Chain A
Amino acid sequence: MRTLSYVEAIREALAEEMRRDPKVFILGEDVGQYGGTFKATKGLIQEFGPDRVIDTPLSENAIIGAATGAAIMGFHPVAEIMYMDFLNECGDQLVNHLPKLHFMTGGKLRVPVVIRTQYSLGRNTGAQHSQFFPSFFMNTPGIMVATPSTPADAKGLLKTAIRGNNPVLFIESAALYTTKGEVPEGEFNVPFGEADVKLQGHDVTIVAVSRMVREALSAAEALLSDGISVEVIDPRTLMPLDMETIVTSVKKTGRLVTAEDGIKTSGVGAEIIARTMETAMGYVEDAQRVACPDIPAPFSPPLQDAYMPGKYTIIEAVKGMMGIHKLVNADCK
């Protein structure tokens, strides 16, 4: 199979969906001639024209509002918000309007808006350009949340998102944009709510999100040489969340580690562990969260390295859980 980078896979999904359905259009800052800050929409304006690849003013709240209004009228807008941090600029439309319009109108209005955004943790972008906070949207009923970790999932989940009838927050990881992987050509849809078991194992279950999936797989490889067998699960979508796959795995391993680039408190891991406990308490020997500390993201590269979770923090958590003395110190990151 041919390989594509993560950002190429996103571009391919957008182009295919725009060719399939004239109601799909893109709007956002610098998405036209410039091709988007991360080049996800590069070349699309040439094929689809400025009426379907719309450069907007720097008005995030109005971008989501305009997308919502157009979706009410039967369009399938794909709005790009340059950094996930900027979602806070759209708070009213994103939280008070978009996820609630269908509900508040007793099911009359449909608002199939896809919001593509990315988080940049790991790129030394500082406290206002690094945040990853998907748990906030897991706490906001009415919007689905996708967090692809591979080029194939990026394509397949985005196509599914655009074809759906519901709002979707599609969170990309800038650190993954240049990563490559096999991506099926043409029709390829990844369903929401179906986790991907990336690696089978029997000692510890690691549920990893977005960029942390690669870190977890890399940690698993290292742990295997210590005789620890790890199962790695990528939920792929956080709303809906495939708890069945996670709980089945934890019942087998008895140990659960969650790994995410978000803040630890009230994060994705907190929710996954809570839900696991609600249904499989008796099976769980230990559960740990690997995440960012409750601190804004720092700029200075060594501080960022100390702040970010990764392969070694996962290894540390797993070994601690398995009763193996800490072999890793912070410098090894």
Chain B
Amino acid sequence: MYESMLKQRLLDEKVVELYKKGLIQGIAHPCLGQEAVSAGVMANLSKEDLVVSNHRGHGHSLAKGVSERAMLGELMGKETGVCRGFGGSMHSSDVECGMVFSTAIVGGGIPLAVGVALALRMNKKTNCVVCFFGDGACNTGAFHEALNMAAVWHLPVVLVCENNQYAVSTPIAKSTSGHIYLRGEGYGIPGQLVNGMKVLDVYEAASIAITRAKKGEGPTLLECETYRYTGHGPYDIGLDYRTQEEIDRWKARDAIITFEQKLISQNLASSQELQTIRERTRQRVEEALEFAQRSPYPRKEQLSEHVWA
């Protein structure tokens, strides 16, 4: 879990750097600050368990096993990217490691995940699908349609809301009535509020939800309270709608730092061991960047290649 969080952190720090240099174009949504949610959930999943992700999905993909090379390749629009450069930052699909798809339309992944779960059940599989979405998605019709459908069909889906407090710039207090985790109750879905800055809390909550799903007991809604350190995108930190003090307050709870402290204080790892992991992870990101940079772009002749199957 530590390595998973670190991988997400170091890759997205690199993404911010590359974006500012103009080496990544278009749109990119870093998950800096939110890493514990992916790491804690994914630690419960096998390769055969599936994930549907959203626009802020680099971390989900990495945590599910998509390589740094494939992620940076995609972000740079290269042929070696996870979607051959046809998707971009917001789209990732690598079914072999269980990463089904990430969608750029807020809320759009939830009905898809319901269909994936339906297929799992029709195939008599005992695996589950985890769907990640943000607090903004909980105010879309898709969320409500999909929650009801998942519940009424008792499907093996775990709904993970990463409540990072803002939908672009709009704070949760101004946009979202009541608590998100309580919204499951109306559909007969158990909901739980989780400290998304503590990877072990996420791990435990996800473990219960995933076990339920796999036992055929239906969906669970987890609301993981977390925070994004950048603004909506990588270009700023969003000081026009929040204060530096607020950002600092959340950073003081940083999931990686607090987990490091815990591992050291409980003698589960030495700071030197953690440093070794950090260095190894950093090198992997650097190596992936070199790989992505020397990878070719798709050829112009490929433009219409994937319109029809």
Binding site for B on A (CB under 8 A): 25, 51, 56-57, 59, 61-62, 64-75, 77, 92-93, 96-97, 101-112, 141-142, 165-166
Contact with A along B91-127 (1 / 0, CB 8 A): 1011100001101010110111111111110110000
**Cβ of B306 under 8 Å from chain A:** yes
Q: How far is the CA of A142 from the CA of B307 in the complex (A)?
A: 6
**Cβ of B167 under 8 Å from chain A:** no
Q: A57-B145, A105-B83 are in contact. Are A69 and B108 (CB under 8 A)?
A: no
Closest 5 pairs between A and B when the two form their complex, measured CB to CB: A69-B115, A65-B111, A106-B84, A73-B119, A59-B145
| Nearest CB on A from B1, distance (A) | 28
Structural contact, A56 and B119, CB atoms closer than 8 A:
no
In the complex formed, the residue of B with least CB distance to A73 is B119
- Hey, which chain A residues are within 8 Å of B117, CB to CB? 69
Q: How far is the CA of A68 from the CA of B110 in the complex (A)?
A: 11
- Hey, which chain B residues are within 8 Å of A104, CB to CB? 83, 86-87, 91, 93
Structural contact, A92 and B108, CB atoms closer than 8 A:
yes
- Hey, which chain B residues are within 8 Å of A66, CB to CB? 111-112, 114-115, 118, 149
| Nearest CB on A from B182, distance (A) | 21
- Hey, which chain B residues are within 8 Å of A112, CB to CB? 309
Q: How far is the CA of A57 from the CA of B144 in the complex (A)?
A: 11
Q: How far is the CA of A68 from the CA of B116 in the complex (A)?
A: 8
B114 interface neighbour in A69, A75, A102, A166, Cβ under 8 Å:
A69
- Hey, which chain A residues are within 8 Å of B85, CB to CB? 106
Q: How far is the CA of A75 from the CA of B125 in the complex (A)?
A: 14
Structural contact, A70 and B115, CB atoms closer than 8 A:
yes
CB<8 Å pairs between A and B, sample of 26: A51-B122, A59-B149, A62-B146, A62-B149, A65-B108, A66-B114, A67-B115, A68-B111, A69-B52, A69-B100, A70-B119, A70-B122, A72-B119, A73-B116, A73-B119, A77-B115, A97-B105, A103-B307, A106-B81, A106-B84, A107-B309, A109-B95, A111-B309, A112-B309, A142-B307, A166-B309
Q: How far is the CA of A105 from the CA of B92 in the complex (A)?
A: 7
Structural contact, B119 and A59, CB atoms closer than 8 A:
no
Structural contact, B122 and A61, CB atoms closer than 8 A:
no
| Nearest CB on A from B148, distance (A) | 6
- Hey, which chain A residues are within 8 Å of B101, CB to CB? 72, 101, 105, 109
Structural contact, B309 and A110, CB atoms closer than 8 A:
yes
Q: A92-B142, A97-B112, A103-B86 are in contact. Are A108 and B119 (CB under 8 A)?
A: no
| Nearest CB on B from A102, distance (A) | 5
Q: How far is the CA of A184 from the CA of B148 in the complex (A)?
A: 42
Q: How far is the CA of A104 from the CA of B83 in the complex (A)?
A: 7
Structural contact, A61 and B115, CB atoms closer than 8 A:
no
Q: How far is the CA of A61 from the CA of B111 in the complex (A)?
A: 8
Structural contact, B111 and A93, CB atoms closer than 8 A:
yes
| Nearest CB on B from A16, distance (A) | 20
Given A61-B141, A72-B115, A104-B87, list of 14 further CB < 8 A pairs? A57-B148, A59-B145, A62-B111, A65-B108, A66-B112, A69-B113, A73-B116, A73-B123, A75-B122, A101-B101, A105-B101, A108-B94, A109-B100, A110-B309
- Hey, which chain B residues are within 8 Å of A97, CB to CB? 103, 105, 108, 112
| Nearest CB on A from B156, distance (A) | 12
Q: A105-B86, A106-B85 are in contact. Are A62 and B114 (CB under 8 A)?
A: yes
Structural contact, B91 and A74, CB atoms closer than 8 A:
no
Q: A92-B142, A166-B308 are in contact. Are A68 and B86 (CB under 8 A)?
A: no
| Nearest CB on B from A126, distance (A) | 23
Q: A74-B119, A96-B105 are in contact. Are A69 and B111 (CB under 8 A)?
A: yes
In the complex formed, the residue of B with least CB distance to A69 is B115
**Cβ of B305 under 8 Å from chain A:** yes
CB-CB contacts below 8 Å: B220-262 with A: none
Structural contact, B142 and A62, CB atoms closer than 8 A:
yes
Q: How far is the CA of A43 from the CA of B108 in the complex (A)?
A: 33
Structural contact, A65 and B146, CB atoms closer than 8 A:
yes
**Cβ of B269 under 8 Å from chain A:** no
- Hey, which chain A residues are within 8 Å of B112, CB to CB? 65-66, 68-69, 72, 93, 97
- Hey, which chain A residues are within 8 Å of B95, CB to CB? 72, 108-109
**Residue with the highest number of chain A CB atoms closer than 10 Å, among B87, B115, B122:** B115
In the complex formed, the residue of B with least CB distance to A108 is B93
Q: How far is the CA of A187 from the CA of B248 in the complex (A)?
A: 68
- Hey, which chain B residues are within 8 Å of A25, CB to CB? 122
| Nearest CB on B from A74, distance (A) | 7
In the complex formed, the residue of B with least CB distance to A106 is B84
CB-CB contacts below 8 Å: B119-158 with A: 119-120, 122-123, 141-142, 145-146, 148-149, 152
Q: How far is the CA of A109 from the CA of B112 in the complex (A)?
A: 13
| Nearest CB on A from B177, distance (A) | 21
B115 interface neighbour in A68, A103, A109, A166, Cβ under 8 Å:
A68
Structural contact, B145 and A62, CB atoms closer than 8 A:
yes
Structural contact, A72 and B116, CB atoms closer than 8 A:
yes
- Hey, which chain B residues are within 8 Å of A103, CB to CB? 86, 306-307
Q: A64-B111, A69-B114 are in contact. Are A107 and B119 (CB under 8 A)?
A: no
Structural contact, B110 and A65, CB atoms closer than 8 A:
yes
Contact with A along B69-99 (1 / 0, CB 8 A): 0000000000001011111000101110000
In the complex formed, the residue of B with least CB distance to A102 is B309
| Nearest CB on A from B81, distance (A) | 8
**Residue with the highest number of chain B CB atoms closer than 10 Å, among A51, A57, A166:** A57
